[in-house]
Chains A and B, each alone.
Chain A
Amino acid sequence: MAVTTPVRAPEKPQPAAKTPVRRRRRQLGTYVVLVLVACVFVGPFLLLLATALKPSSQPVFSFPPDLIPRPPVVDWFVEAWTTIPYSRFLLNSVLYVGVTVPLYLIVSAMTAYPLARISFRGRQFFFVLFLSTMFLPGELMLIPRFLVMRELGLLDSYAAVILPAILSSLGVFLLRQTFAAIPDEVIEAARMDGASEWRIFLSVACPIARPTIAVLAILGFISVWNSFLWPLVALDDQSKFPIALGIAYLSGVSGADVRGLAAGTVLSLIPVIAVFVFLQRHILSSMAGAVKG
């Protein structure tokens, strides 16, 4: 990373004296561009926050825009919390995440392990079978899954939201790659010791795959927290809505103040942004890894 040091060769004093100044100026220019672009990506969220903090005496829209809340107030957060069953929506989302993500990890790992480490007939077939779910995106499965859930009598239940989110090609794929990368000697040594496949899976393979499992947990959390479309189809009962659906509901409530809507939205963003800020390096590198793999 520190590529700057070898460039400053001591035997060439003249360019060396010139370079740092020019380099610093160019670096400053780069930072200016970086910050401007960052405004494009973070700006809309800051605008949302500013709107949520505006007092009712200050108009939301004006020409030229008056973005700084004067004075900032938290009234709208209180309003968002009280006008709709906001805490209920939040609690529901916590529940959906808390049940779905562990199941997602367990099922992904159990499915991936034999595909990577046990040789059996049809292994390739099953791998392709699980990967094929990639070509059945949720957007296309709305109608038939709705009919299946109705058949199972699960419509408008927590289970209806959870079940379709447990199996994903990404989880199976990434864990299979990870298990397959474990050196043969490690697994063979355990087999020699007479360990059963279950024992090897639990005590050898899964601990080694912990980084991948952690990444999948993060991605699973984000995807379940943000899920909107399927719950919209599967749920009628407002008391089971996850937070994203609750926000959409709030924006449909007539007479709801835009500032209240902004406040509710900001609240819904906090958990995901918090997780992201703390774990962004893992998320970014894992996405790159998933693409390379």
Chain B
Amino acid sequence: MAAAGLIPRVRRRSLGPRHVVGQRRWTPYLFMLPGLVLFALMFGWPAFISLQMSVSSYRIVTPVSFVGLQNFVGLAGDPQFHHAIANTFLFMAMFLPFAVVLPLFLAMLVNRPLRGIHAFRAAYYLPVVTSMVAVAVAWRYLLSQEGVLNWLLSLVGLGPIDFLLDTHWALPALAIVEGWKNMGLFMVIYLAALQGVPREQLEAATVDGAGAARRLWHIVLPAILPYVTVTLTLGMLESTRSFESIYVLTRGGPQDSTLTLGYYIWHIAFEKYDVGYASAAGLVLWLIMIALALANQRLTRRRDA
């Protein structure tokens, strides 16, 4: 062993350190080369173009021209943009219960050593792996004026509501579809979290006669709090990103009632061909997402301190 370790060292000295090191120096970069090229092409360059476009006027048919902050000034005074931002946060508020609260109950429900429990976990996770387009097709039947949901409502004397064509109901309906589709993902996060709940404490509390609600509040919640921040952050980001459901179910309508920032950007860029203006709005959306992520991280740090 000692000799084996010595020989290369001697050699290295005799050939000069640069030679040997020089051969090795490029190895890590060669490994990363495909990744770096793809990063440059698919992330770096587009990010640069985004910044460039946000301060340009560009409508596909006209050449690119620098306009400074004009796009942002335009956005500041654009009522449709304001409406889209309001809708984005409204949608987030409606989506978050499906990301932060309900999945915890799902996770507690399937966190039992019962026979066949894996099948139930899988069933709850199923919508996560299916395409939004397929989910939208299925939910269009459910949400239709003559659909099963309206029949259930009629049993309790409500409705009918044409969910996707009603300006009050379209956005909540989308939140339900997105929430339903993603709940399994958040359930899995909580499932991992529940493994860390001290079982002895739970059993002791049960013996002491603490009810389910008190056990949840005093023992489970404190133990899983870090994961709540994870679901909260992911839930916020996921909701600001939601686009496919809107595209396939409502196209921002009726009367812009489901026009979120993501859909607004799409609409401006690919239906009105105002690429510069849309890029500026995209930058605003990006800043909102970064701010949300940072705020959540701040929240975690403070609690840990």
- Residue numbers of A with Cβ under 8 A of B are 1-4, 27, 30-31, 33-34, 37-38, 40-42, 44-45, 47-48, 51, 60-65, 67, 106-108, 110-111, 113-115, 118, 120, 123, 126, 129-130, 132-133, 135-137, 139-145, 147-148, 152, 163-164, 166-167, 172, 192, 197-198, 201, 222, 225-226, 228-229, 232-233, 244-245, 247-248, 251, 258, 261-262, 265, 268-269, 272-273, 276-277, 280-281, 283-284, 287-289, 291-292
Contacts and interface: CB of A to CB of B under 8 A. Distances in A.
Interface residues of B, number: 87
Contact of B188 (A41, A42, A284): A284
Contacts of B110: 34
Nearest to B118: A281
Interface in B16-62: 24-25, 27-29, 31-36, 38-39, 41-43, 45-47, 49-50, 53
A143 B279 contact: yes
A1 B46 contact: no
Contact of A164 (B42, B53, B237): B42
Given A61-B146, A110-B34, A143-B282, A133 B129 contact: no
A144 B279 contact: yes
A222 B137 CA distance: 18
Given A226-B131, A283-B125, A247 B146 contact: no
B1 to A, nearest CB: 8
B221 interface: no
* Nearest 10 CB-CB pairings of A with B: A111-B35, A144-B46, A114-B28, A61-B146, A226-B131, A288-B192, A280-B122, A144-B49, A44-B138, A167-B38
Tell me the interface secondary structure of chain A in the complex: helix
A163 B42 contact: yes
A63 B151 contact: yes
A262 B28 contact: no
A42 B41 contact: no
Contacts of A110: 31-35
Contacts of A115: 32
23 contacts: A30-B109, A30-B112, A34-B114, A37-B106, A40-B180, A47-B148, A51-B141, A107-B34, A111-B36, A118-B28, A132-B43, A135-B290, A144-B50, A145-B42, A164-B42, A197-B27, A228-B132, A244-B131, A244-B134, A265-B133, A276-B125, A281-B118, A284-B188
A109 B124 CA distance: 31
B293 interface: yes
Contacts of B29: 114, 120
Given A34-B110, A283-B125, A283-B129, A140 B282 contact: yes
Interface string B187-220: 0110110000000000000000000000000000
Contact of A41 (B49, B124, B189, B289): B124
Interface of B: 4, 24-25, 27-29, 31-36, 38-39, 41-43, 45-47, 49-50, 53, 106, 109-110, 112-114, 117-118, 120-127, 129-135, 137-139, 141-142, 144, 146-148, 151, 154, 180, 183-185, 188-189, 191-192, 227, 230, 237, 241, 243-244, 247-248, 262, 265-266, 269-270, 275, 278-279, 282, 285-286, 289-290, 293
Contact of A288 (B148, B191, B247): B191
A4 B129 CA distance: 34
A182 B279 CA distance: 44
Contacts of A197: 24, 27, 31
A198 B33 CA distance: 14
A178 to B, nearest CB: 15
Nearest to A267: B134
B278 A272 contact: no
Contacts, number: 252
A37 B106 CA distance: 9
Contact of A61 (B43, B125, B147): B147
A91 to B, nearest CB: 17
A225 B189 contact: no
Nearest to B35: A111
A222 B133 contact: no
B225 to A, nearest CB: 15
A30 B113 CA distance: 12
Contacts of A148: 41-42, 45-46, 49
Contacts of A277: 122
A60 B120 CA distance: 29
B146 to A, nearest CB: 4
Contacts of B135: 44
Given A38-B123, A283-B125, A48 B138 contact: yes
A251 B39 CA distance: 35
A277 B122 CA distance: 8
B185 A287 contact: yes
Contacts of B262: 139
Contact of B53 (A40, A139, A143): A143
Contacts of B114: 27, 30-31, 34
Contacts of B241: 137, 139
B25 A226 contact: no
A155 B220 CA distance: 52
Contacts of B38: 107, 163, 166-167
B139 A44 contact: yes
Contacts of B117: 34
A26 to B, nearest CB: 11
A248 B244 CA distance: 11
A106 B110 CA distance: 36
